[in-house]
Chain A
């Protein structure tokens, strides 16, 4: 029974998972809490890519996968997809965002002022090695400004639109349940506007950066100016079946508008995501800015960048090459050997032909 002896598949996969888990050790609720508290930006990134806003679940996913980001996002997406869709929240207007940070590179000052907010932009990137020597790391306390910056502001592009500087996108009146949902229908091209923005919102940060960076370096037609970058909290307003509207809480969101000269007006690219993720928003908005009229097959063409920045799909396909492919390989081998034999035969017969 030679065949039966080789049937170790089930046991092998079980033991290989145990090995992975054993090296990582167990974890509990407390570990999840620590992950959540200590790594908020990682939590944000994972929630954005999973399109699921729940800090506890995101922290759990990170703890369960030992920080393997692609695995963590897949865990969350696979959980998310089985949840019922109870309600569609009201659309959020930009001037209702509770804003922590809002900057513009396009103007020295903007209505409402440049609000620097929390950022490492101007920090000196020095590794705090003394912590490893036993020193504590206690951040200096923040000194509140005399005049708090306004919490609610329209976007900078609203001002440009008012001044007829902006090539206005066609307004889309779709609301509620009619808004296309990428997680419930396939992405088809030309992509629906909602699908494009949703796809960018859940795109893999590194992937968006790579393609966005290519566009910034010159493989795109447009050069981005950051019109507005914002970190904020958005109120999620839903309607109870009895008709009353209520707040289901606030979620952290980030958004970027980038602009470029387009004839006599400014063209605009836009992206937003759950959680605070500036690199992703600027890169995604840059791709959006570059996408109209982009050449087919170029990195700034919608089909190209939306497909290739889908982290769960790209990472899954990448690791699937580990699976056995010996049937397909055998099939190619057969064709190669036959072609080789044919060639050998051909050269043998042409050797014997008399010269002309």
Chain B
């Protein structure tokens, strides 16, 4: 045996930046996270050439999944051209030679921070969500060891109590994004800081969603056709943001999640948050052809 059998020929950088052992660990952990939907699987989470908290968890998953044929879309807050989305997209294609796209329908893999695109994802697509805080119990229990015990016991009483207190105090559940949801009837998970608008898109979806928190070193998943139920009381139904009636001032799109843009006169204008949806709507309006796919929401309502 010689030293050379222990290693491999030198290369300046592994394909996809991560070395073989990092990828194998991620593969093993991804399988476990799919096998137990919504359950946080710990992983080593190697450092990558991006700061922690900037999508390193999602990036590690994407880098493990891609090959030179994988068409990659990256969005941040719904936008492909957001600076950090641009940075991540450029990095993935630089270290893995992947083609990129902004069109949701063209993408094989979509890495996203804080949004799920408005067009329905297909069975052959994978959605990778960046997760800042993987622990839905953190607001009621910051200690991770105790929180893990609570998950082990399916002890979600304090979660419910917190929601109940909000209703008593404010007349409604005050949770904004990251709405805690019960997965496969067993594990409460954070869907990552997507708006409430997007959570129903995970329920019994056709695509696989992998959620990865690089800094906190936890990975979890929602396989296709898996129940994802926001925690609600039977007499207080789940409410998404009241955006269904809003119209995008740029594209004229109505019935989707919007960004609110404060105006000088004190009023607000709105523009559609899924930027590529906005672009497609403008193209259709300007007679440049129809490229829009089916959407989860129709006329501002989540379709069954």
Contacts of A331 in B (CB 8 A): 176-177, 195-197, 241
The answer to whether A303 touches B143, judged by C-beta atoms less than 8 angstroms apart, is: yes
Q: Of B21, B77, B146, which contacts A324 at CB under 8 A?
A: B77
B76 beta carbon closer than 8 Å to chain A = yes
A330 and B1 in contact, given A186-B45, A316-B215 (Cβ under 8 angstroms): no
Contact-residue size bin, chain A (C-beta under 8 Å from the other chain) = 35 or more
Contact A86 B7 (CB under 8 A): yes
Shortest A84–chain B CB gap in Å is 5
Q: What is the bound-complex CA distance between A351 and B7, given in angstroms?
A: 79
Interface residues of B in 236-252 (CB under 8 A from A): 239, 241-243, 250-251
* Cross-chain pairs A/B with CB under 8 angstroms, 25 sampled: A1-B282, A74-B49, A78-B48, A81-B19, A82-B13, A82-B22, A86-B3, A183-B44, A184-B21, A184-B44, A186-B44, A242-B1, A296-B143, A296-B145, A297-B142, A319-B53, A326-B259, A328-B193, A330-B195, A330-B260, A333-B176, A336-B174, A339-B172, A342-B171, A342-B172
**Chain B residues with Cβ under 8 A from A145's Cβ?**
none
Inter-chain CA distance A189–B143, complex, in Å, is 10
Question: B145, A189: Cβ atoms under 8 Å?
Answer: yes
Task: Tell me whether B58 is interfacial, beta carbon within 8 Å.
Answer: no
**B31 at the A/B interface (Cβ < 8 Å)?**
no
Contact of B170 among A319, A326, A339 (CB under 8 A): A339
Contact between chains at B76 and A7 (CB < 8 Å): no
Residues of chain A lying within 8 A (CB to CB) of residue B195: 327-328, 330-331
Knowing A242-B1, A303-B143, A320-B132, say if A81 contacts B46 (CB, 8 Å): yes
B42 at the interface (CB under 8 A from A): yes
Counting CB contacts under 8 A, is B150 at the interface? no
Q: Is A128 an interface residue (CB 8 A)?
A: no
Additional A-B contacts beyond A186-B218, A297-B143, A333-B260 (5; CB < 8 A):
A12-B86, A82-B18, A316-B53, A335-B172, A335-B176
Least CB distance, A292 to chain B, in whole angstroms: 15
Name B's A-contacting residues (CB within 8 A). Answer: 1-3, 5-8, 13-14, 17-19, 21-22, 25, 42-49, 51-54, 56, 76-87, 90, 113-115, 132, 142-146, 170-178, 193-197, 215, 217-218, 239, 241-243, 250-251, 257-260, 273, 275, 278-279, 282, 286
Cα A261 to Cα B21 in complex, Å, equals: 45
As a 0/1 sequence over residues 282 to 319 of chain A, the CB contacts with chain B under 8 angstroms (1 = contact) are 00000000000000110000010001000011011111
Chain A: CB-nearest residue to B51? A316
Query: Is A319's CB under 8 angstroms from B42's CB?
Result: no
Q: Is A138 among interface residues, defined by CB-CB distance under 8 A? A: no
Chief secondary structure at chain A's binding surface: helix
Query: Which B residues touch A190, using CB under 8 A?
Result: 145
Chain A residues whose C-beta falls within 8 Å of the C-beta of B143 in the assembled complex: 296-297, 303
Q: Which residues of B contact A84 (CB under 8 A)?
A: 6-8, 19, 21
Known: A183-B44, A330-B260. A313 touches B215 (CB 8 A): yes
Closest to A302 in B: B145
In the complex, which residue of chain A has the Cβ closest to the Cβ of B195? A331
- The answer for the CA separation of A2 and B272 in the assembled complex, in Å, is 12
Of residues 320 through 356 on chain A, the ones whose CB sits less than 8 Å from some CB of chain B are 320, 323-336, 338-339, 342-343, 346
Interface centre among A4, A319, A320, by most B CB within 10 Å? A320
Beyond A296-B146, A312-B52, whether A326 also contacts B77 by CB under 8 A is yes
The 9 closest A-B pairs by CB, nearest first: A316-B52, A320-B53, A332-B176, A331-B176, A9-B86, A316-B51, A186-B42, A77-B47, A9-B81
Known: A189-B144, A331-B241, A335-B173. A323 touches B87 (CB 8 A): no
**Neighbouring A residues of B43 by C-beta, 8 Å:** 186
Query: Once the chains bind, are A4 and B279 in contact (CB under 8 Å)?
Result: yes
Q: Is A26 an interface residue (CB 8 A)?
A: no
A187 at the A/B interface (Cβ < 8 Å)?
A: yes
Contact indicator B86/A10 (Cβ below 8 Å): yes
Scoring B1, B176, B251 by chain A CB atoms within 10 A of each residue's CB, the highest score goes to B176
Residues of B within 8 A of A241 (CB): 1-3, 5-6
Give complex CA distance A184, B177 in Å: 32
A237-253 to B contact mask, C-beta < 8 Å, 1/0: 00011100000000000
Minimal Cβ-Cβ distance residue in A for B6? A86
Select A317's contact among B47, B83, B132, beta carbons within 8 Å: B132
